[in-house]
Structure formats: structure tokens, C-alpha cells
Homo-oligomer: A and B are copies of this chain.
Amino acid sequence: MTHPIFVLNGPNLNLLGTREVEIYGHETLGDLARLCTEEAAKAGLSCSFRQSNHEGVLIDWVQEAREGASGLVLNAGGYSHSSIALADAVRALSIPVIEVHLSNIFRRETFRHHSYISATALGVICGLGTEGYRLAIAALARRITGSTRGQSGS
């Protein structure tokens, strides 16, 4: 049986739909979890959707993904820009990882333009709102279920 796709969300994403709605929209984290589960189900996959404000917990979960996940969607929120430790955990994975940001981080403050996660992930999707999660899961699913042509790094 295939392992689930992990969808891990970092600090303040539990406030989704209630905070800075002009940036993040009105959908809640619960809505997003449902959207991810549906998208994964299309490919016959399950989805373990989690959120934490704790950097250490996120690292624990990324480490758990080494054995327990078939792919990882990671939105590390504010930790994207400061956590070498979290990026190191991602670097230790051999499953495919896609970094996602709801907003277009390149339109925001300069300190959000650099993410330590990016260089450790297969790819990055940002600025497409919750749609970005759906695309990431679709892309992972194609790789996991073999329906893509598996070029590495391209």
C-alpha cells in the first residue's frame, strides 16, 4: 500500500481565513484540508494534513515522512525564511517535496524573497492561493503513481 502524501503547514496557517484576508483569502485551514484530501483521492492516494506553530514539531514530522510518506507538500510559513534546521530535515528526505506558498512571496517584504526550503525541494509553487496545494498534490501524485515520465531535477 502506498504511503500518504504529507501536507505540512507552518506557523499562523491555523489562522487562515481569519487573518489578512486580502492576502490569504477567506478559505479556512479546514477547507484547505478537504481540498487536499479530494485532490489526493483522485489519484487513489490519502493525505495526512497537519499544522503546527512549533519549528521542532515540523522537523519531527518531516523526519516521520522519511518512512511514512510518499510525497511532501510543505508550506513552512515564516520558518521558510529562517530555518536552516527545517531545511536540513527536508534535505534528508528521498521522497519528492514541493514547497508551496499561498501568496506570491516575491511581491512582499524583501525578507520573504529567500526561502531555505527552496533549494532542498524538487520545486516551488507560489502565489496561486489554495490552488497551489492542489497543483502540488497533482504533480506529486503523477510522480508517485508513475504516470509522469520521471525525469529527475528537470
Binding site for B on A (CB under 8 A): 10-12, 14-15, 19-20, 22-27, 52-57, 59-60, 63, 66, 77-79, 81-89, 91-92, 98, 102-104, 106-107, 111-116, 118-119, 121-132, 135, 138-139, 142, 148-149, 151, 153-154
Contacts and interface: CB of A to CB of B under 8 A. Distances in A.
Number of copies: 12
B119 A123 contact: no
6 contacts: A24-B154, A25-B154, A55-B85, A77-B88, A78-B85, A104-B153
A48 to B, nearest CB: 18
Contacts of A129: 151, 153-154
Contacts of A148: 131
Contacts of A56: 11, 52-57
B104 A12 contact: no
A129 B63 CA distance: 22
Contacts of A53: 56, 59-60, 63, 85, 89
